[in-house]
């Protein structure tokens, strides 16, 4: 550590130099820091919360098994300490109009975690891998004398510090402050981002007296203005109950809506609230490009979230891992420019990115219809066909009997059902485009034009206003 010269009476700012500076101790940040540290890179992770509060993040807590995570943390430990329910085998979609529900079985079982415990385990694993972690460190600005990002400035325990780095990994979450400070004019970094592409969410952790009879399920219920309620069982007596809504819709009274629904459910009578927390999360496609000279965005900071469900933990883990791997190679080559970091974009977009981009089409489709019409169609589809319609084969896979039953139940909504089928076809086309994501930024403009042509067809089919 060394000190810059300061004027008389000015606050002295210390300066630290590292190979990699990671901003944020969430999933993406921890996996980035752990990956870099295991490769022997000098990495520091900056977390704004205290060590006691770190890892406390608003989340639905639903997740697939930790075995899908990159092998840079102790996955067995994460599974044993953080997973409180490993027996999720289905989803329940409730019809707010009729009170009926449909079950959709999962192809593979999932689980629910205690998010705070999960977060603390990840931070401890990053520390154990060799990453330096600075708690109570609030990032305030970037160091960018020219085009390249060369570090950040922050307040650590009330003292100003400059962190110099070859690469800054931004895991600071939705609407990251760093992206307001960086001049991206010298790169293709995606700046086509507005608040309407985000969701506001709130959740409570509830303790109930008697075990619920759906502790093997994730429960969803649509609300007005394309909002949704969720009930995810951490255990048979501890439930993560939450509500979210699109920010492109008029504001909802989130807590009141959730409270009103809870009051109608006998299983929550006399429930005790043990924790409350809110957050914003992206409900849009992943950033087209999330790299800039000396800078990489990961996790929520790059919209690595399923835009229909808000699920982002597995994607964030992979993104943090890939970002660190690519950054390490670039640092070793002595070139941290946009082209040198581009491989990170390609891995994301041809990996989980194409699936999230395809799911965004259903988000846009939903925004073009009112919730009553959507619920009538969705709850009329047999469970497996609902799964198919949002990711696999579509209603063409139905047998004749199911087709006739669905035709009768969706009478008056056939145009919407056909529109959904066409959206499903466009989603398949979009995945093909993402599979051809370029390996070089020189071909980026041509790729965007091909992708945007699919989006134009979507807007024609749905009549929706362009989202981007």
Q: Which tens digit of pLDDT belongs to each residue from 390-447?
A: 433 333 444 444 444 444 444 455 677 778 889 989 999 999 999 999 999 999 999 9
- Residue 427 has a pLDDT of 93
pLDDT of 251: 58
The verdict on residue 467 lying in a domain is no
In a domain, 234, yes or no: yes
Taking residues 102-127, what's their average pLDDT? 90
pLDDT reported for residue 67: 62
From 326, 351, 376, the end of a domain falls on: 351
For residue 458, tell me if it sits in a domain: yes
Domain boundary among 351, 366, 398: 351
If asked whether residues 179 and 328 sit together in one domain, one would say yes
Same-domain status, 259 and 277? yes
Same domain, 227 and 209: yes
**CATH code of 204's domain:** 3.30.9.10
- Averaged confidence pLDDT in the chain: 86
Q: Which residue has the higher pLDDT, 360 or 5?
A: 360
276 and 288 co-located in one domain: no
In the structure, what pLDDT confidence band is assigned to residue 1 with cuts at 50, 70 and 90?
A: very low
Residue 468 is assigned to a structural domain of this protein: no
Q: Looking at residues 296-316, what average pLDDT do you find? A: 92
* pLDDT for the residue 374: 63
The answer to whether position 7 is within a domain reads yes
pLDDT digits (tens, 9 = 90+) for 136-177: 999 999 999 999 999 999 999 999 999 999 999 999 999 899
Give the number of domains in the chain.
3
Q: What are 387-406's pLDDT values in tens digits?
A: 444 433 333 444 444 444 44
**pLDDT at position 195 over 80:** yes
What tens digit of pLDDT does each residue of 234-266 get?
999 999 999 887 776 665 566 778 888 999 999
82 in any annotated domain: no
Q: Both 369 and 307 in a single domain?
A: no
426 occurs within a structural domain: yes
12 vs 8, which has greater pLDDT?
Answer: 12
Residues 187 and 215 in one domain: no
Q: Which of 329, 351, 373 is the last residue of a domain?
A: 351
Kindly state whether residue 314 falls inside one of the protein's structural domains. Answer: yes
Mean per-residue pLDDT, 303-316: 89
Cα gap 468→454, rounded to integer Å: 13
Q: Domain residues for 399?
A: 358-462
């Amino acid at each position: 550590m060394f000190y810059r010269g300061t004027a008389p009476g000015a606050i002295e700012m210390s300066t630290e130099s590292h190979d990699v500076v990671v901003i944020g101790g969430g999933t993406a940040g921890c996996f980035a820091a752990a990956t870099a540290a295991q490769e022997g890179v000098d990495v520091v992770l900056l977390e704004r919360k205290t060590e006691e509060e770190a890892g406390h993040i608003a989340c639905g807590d639903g997740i697939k098994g930790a075995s899908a995570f990159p092998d840079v943390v102790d996955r067995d430990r994460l599974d044993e300490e953080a997973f409180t329910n490993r027996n999720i085998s289905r989803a329940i979609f409730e019809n707010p109009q009729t009170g009926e529900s449909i079950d959709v079985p999962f192809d593979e079982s999932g689980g629910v975690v205690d998010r705070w415990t999960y977060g603390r385990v990840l931070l401890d694993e990053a520390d154990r891998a060799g990453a330096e972690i600075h708690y109570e460190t609030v990032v305030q600005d970037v160091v960018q004398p020219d085009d390249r990002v060369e570090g950040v400035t922050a307040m650590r325990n009330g003292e100003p510090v400059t962190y110099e780095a070859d690469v800054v990994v931004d895991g600071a979450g939705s609407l990251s402050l760093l992206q307001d400070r960086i001049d991206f004019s010298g790169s293709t970094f995606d700046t086509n981002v507005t608040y309407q592409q985000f969701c506001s969410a709130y959740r409570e952790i509830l303790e109930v007296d008697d075990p619920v009879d759906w502790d093997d399920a994730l429960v969803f219920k649509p609300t007005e203005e394309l909002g949704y309620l969720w009930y995810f069982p951490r255990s048979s007596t501890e439930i993560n109950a939450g509500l979210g809504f699109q920010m492109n819709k008029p504001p909802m009274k989130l807590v009141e809506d959730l409270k009103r629904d809870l009051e109608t459910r006998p299983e929550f009578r006399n429930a005790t609230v043990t924790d409350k927390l809110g957050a914003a999360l992206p409900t849009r496609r992943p950033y087209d490009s999330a790299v800039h000279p000396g800078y990489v965005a990961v996790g929520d900071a790059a919209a690595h979230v399923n835009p229909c469900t808000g699920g982002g933990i597995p994607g964030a883990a992979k993104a943090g891992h890939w970002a660190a791997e690519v950054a390490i190679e670039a640092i070793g080559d002595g070139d941290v420019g946009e082209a040198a970091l581009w491989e990170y974009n390609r891995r994301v977009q041809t990996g989980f990115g194409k699936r999230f981009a395809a799911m965004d089409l259903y988000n846009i489709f939903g925004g073009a219809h009112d919730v009553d019409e959507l619920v009538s169609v969705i709850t009329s589809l047999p469970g497996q066909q609902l799964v198919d319609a949002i990711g696999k084969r579509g209603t063409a896979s139905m047998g004749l009997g199911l087709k006739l039953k669905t035709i009768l139940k969706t009478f008056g909504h056939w145009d919407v059902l056909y529109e959904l089928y066409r959206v499903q076809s466009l989603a398949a086309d979009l995945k093909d485009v993402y599979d051809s994501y370029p390996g070089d930024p020189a071909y980026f403009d041509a790729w965007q034009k091909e992708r945007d042509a699919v989006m134009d067809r979507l807007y024609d089919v749905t009549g929706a206003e362009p989202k981007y």
